[in-house]
Each structure stands twice: as C-alpha cells, then as structure tokens.
Amino acid sequence: MAKTNAEKTIDKIVKAAEQRMRAGGFHGFSFREIAADVGIKSASVHHHFPTKEDLAVAAVRAYVEREIAVLGDPNDPKRKPSQLVASYIDLFRSALRDDHAMCLCGLLASEAATLPPRVTAEVQKFFERNLEWTTAVLKRANPDMRAKDVRAKALMMTATLEGALLGSQCQSKLDLFDNVARELKASLSL
Amino acid sequence: MAKTNAEKTIDKIVKAAEQRMRAGGFHGFSFREIAADVGIKSASVHHHFPTKEDLAVAAVRAYVEREIAVLGDPNDPKRKPSQLVASYIDLFRSALRDDHAMCLCGLLASEAATLPPRVTAEVQKFFERNLEWTTAVLKRANPDMRAKDVRAKALMMTATLEGALLGSQCQSKLDLFDNVARELKASLSL
DNA sequence: TTTTGTCTATCAACCGATAGATAGATGTTG
DNA sequence: CAACATCTATCTATCGGTTGATAGACAAAA
C-alpha cells in the first residue's frame, strides 16, 4: 500500500524534527525551521502536529519503534548473544558515524526536567524497552546469573553506550567511542 | 578577603545559570529567568555577561573548577585508588541526589552541535580534565597495565557514569544509578 | 459537496541585546 | 577635609526579530 502525499509530508516532518532535536534538543528547534526543512510553511506543520509537544512525541515514538525493529527478537535462536550485543553496540555507533548526532532519547533524557510531560513519558519508554531487550540478551548469555545481576549488567551496558556517545560526539572522535565499546565488551566477558 | 557586592551578584548569576542549564540546556533558559532568580533585571545580567555565550562559558568554567577541586590530587599517597574511584562515583551520584539534575557538561555535550563555539570548547576541557584524573587514578591501581588500556578503562568509567546519570534522572530513580555504579566498580576489579 | 492540505496574515509573548538615566561608591585634587 | 570627577551597578524603556499558535481563504481531491 502506497503512502498518500499527506503521509509522506508527515514522515518528512517527523524526520526533520528528529534530526533537529538530535542536534539541539527540544528547546533548540522551531516550527519554522522544520517547515523550511520540509519545504512548507509553519502553519502547515501545525496542521499535522498542533503543538510542539505533539510533534516531539511523534518523533520519539518513531525513533523508538525504528530502533526496536532494527534490534529484532532478542531470543532469536539463529543469533548468538554475542552477536546481538555487537549489533546493539553498532546501533549506537552508527548514530555517531552516520548521523554525527546523539541518540535522540539520550539527549532528551538529559533535558527531562524541562520537557512537556508526554515527551518525558515517551523517553522513559525508550529506556524501558531497551532494558527489556538487553536483559533478555544477557540472560541468554548468562543463564546461571541471578536476575538482579543480569539487570544491573543490562543497565550498565546502555548507560555506558549513551555516555560514550556523549563524550565522543562532543569531541567528534569516533575512536573514543570504539575504545569504550571494546572495554565494555571485555567487561561483559562474552 | 571579603567579596564585593558585585562579586556576590556575579556568583549568584553564574549559579543560577548553572542550575537553569542543568535542567534545560543552553537553549532552555533566558536572561530574564536568570535575572528573576537573582532578583535583578535582565539588563543587569547583560552588564556582567554581555552575551549568552559569555554567561554559559563562565558557568561551565566555574563548574569544572569546582569539580576538579573536589576531586583533589589523583596521586595523593594518603588516598587509595579504590577510595578515589569511590569518591569519583559519589561525585556523579551527588548531582542526582542533591541537585536532582544532570551533570552540566554531560548535558551540554549532547547539545554540542548547536552550541556557541567557546561553550563547546569549555565542555571539551571538562572531558579532558576528567580523563587526566581518571587515567592517573587507574594507572596507580593497575601499574602493569599498558597505557592504552588504562586510558580505555578511564574513558569507560566516565562514559558509564554520565550515561547512568542520563537514564536515572529521566526515570528519577536513584537505585538505577546505584546498580550501574556497583556493576562498574566490579568491572574495574578494584 | 465535503474533506483535506496548504497558504497568507496575524497574534501576543518572549528572545537577546542596547541606549541612556540615575544613584551610589570610589578616587583625585586643591 | 571638602569638592569635584570618574567609575560601577543597577534601573527603565525599547529595539528588531523570533516563538508557538490561530483564523480564515483557497484550491484540489474524494
């Protein structure tokens, strides 16, 4: 089923909002900038997303859905846990290498205190979904480990990657990220 | 030597700017908000800090100097490396517990792409100074390790703590941070 | 004909920044 | 010491520009 013109416009708006937010956060972009990116007027953006909160929520949802889809099933027997971890790391790495940008939800999480409530809620979902996925993978890799310890390892994995993204993009050095990723892999003993 | 009234005002402005930025980033605060926090008018803030960039630079500098001063000498023979690491972790933890806020430089690093150049430069210095300190500590703890590996471990330590701050403050759960911190300590084998 | 997506035009509020007045502190000179 | 001059920190008032958001016209599509 082909997309209607309206759906194409909406996709373009959401994509532009994601990119702008990944560069400057929720307070760092405007409807007029988004409109210019897409090639329409700001009133037309408001027609699809009445408020800035609506637009940000849509952008975060799309981002999270895309991420979860790329990661796939953590219990897929055709993929080894070590491969899944590697693909998880590579997902974060690609944000830096391909988009030269932060993880959208990492950036928004840091602004959480000043975000509209529904945006904060969507960002929280990102971390919950990540924790489910990473916990499932690490549970497969460490079947004998206590659930609490698996969870702690899973938390650390995401935290380390988000933090590595922070530091690396500030200094725009991909090798910083790679050093951290290598060390992380080692500490997970996979 | 006592502080003049002007110095007191400047301190209040810088402190307010730090707090506002730690909540909403560079694009998330205004001169009028700062002025209201301090109890003066926005024109008076401009008198001390002509541009927003100037104010942000001053806030970051003060933040970094304070952090380095709290950490102290990484080679102080009276403090064991494990104690120094514990105090480093606690520094990040206190941001969450006492201020209910992000690390200023962690937040600004994520906005780096849209920051005025001198602000980005100060934030980079934060990470450089942190890397010097953590490398010195971990070198003491692992005298036989190759310098490159020590550096990687040091990078991971800061990255993990910044990332833990991100996730924890978004969900406003201190125990998330503590779980990550415990796991980090374990992986450093101290 | 109704619905939909876009437009133009506009709003009040807020933004960073500047100009100029004023009062008080500080310093200089007779 | 007294008188004058300068400097400093604040104020009020305002600038041009931007912000998120709304109203209403219009054309195309269903």
* Residues B41-59 pLDDT 10s: 999 999 999 999 999 999 9
What dihedral angle (degrees, nearest 10) is formed by the CA atoms of A163, A62, A109, A115?
160
Instruction: Please give the average per-residue pLDDT across A163-177, as a whole number.
Output: 94
> Which residue, B115, B99, B30, is CA-closest to B63?
B99
Give a yes or no: residue A21 inside a domain: no
Of A92, A7, A20, the residue nearest A59 (C-alpha)? A20
Q: Best of B115, B148, B156 to disrupt the A interface by mutation (most A CBs within 10 Å)?
A: B156
Question: Where on strand C do bases come within 7 A of a protein Cβ?
Answer: 4-9, 14-20, 26
Q: A43: Cβ under 7 Å from strand C?
A: yes
Q: Is residue A23 domain-resident?
A: no
pLDDT tens per residue, range A146-161: 999 999 999 999 999 9
Q: For residue B178, list chain A residues with Cβ-Cβ distance below 8 A.
A: none
Q: Does residue A170 fall inside a structural domain?
A: yes
Residue B121: which of A179, A172, A22 has the closest Cα?
A172
Determine, yes or no, domain membership for A25. Answer: no
For the whole model, what pTM was predicted? 0.95
Write down the pLDDT at residue A189. 82
Q: Does the CB of B171 sit below 7 A from strand C?
A: no
Any domain includes A57: yes
Q: How confident is the model at residue B8, as a pLDDT?
A: 87
Residue-level pLDDT at B1: 52
Is there a contact between A164 and B156 if contact means CB atoms under 8 Å apart? yes
- Within a domain: residue A58? yes
The model's pLDDT over B80-91, given as tens digits with 9 standing for 90+, comes to 999 999 999 999
A145 CA, C23 C1': Å apart: 73
CA-based nearest residue to B137, from B75, B183, B91, B181: B75
* Residue A125, domain extent: 52-188
- Give the mean pLDDT of B20-28: 98
Residues 103-162 of A with CB under 7 A from strand C: none
**How many domains does the structure of chain A reveal?**
1
Whole-number pLDDT of residue B133: 98
CA B5 from centre of chain: 27
CATH code for the domain in which residue A103 is found: 1.10.357.10
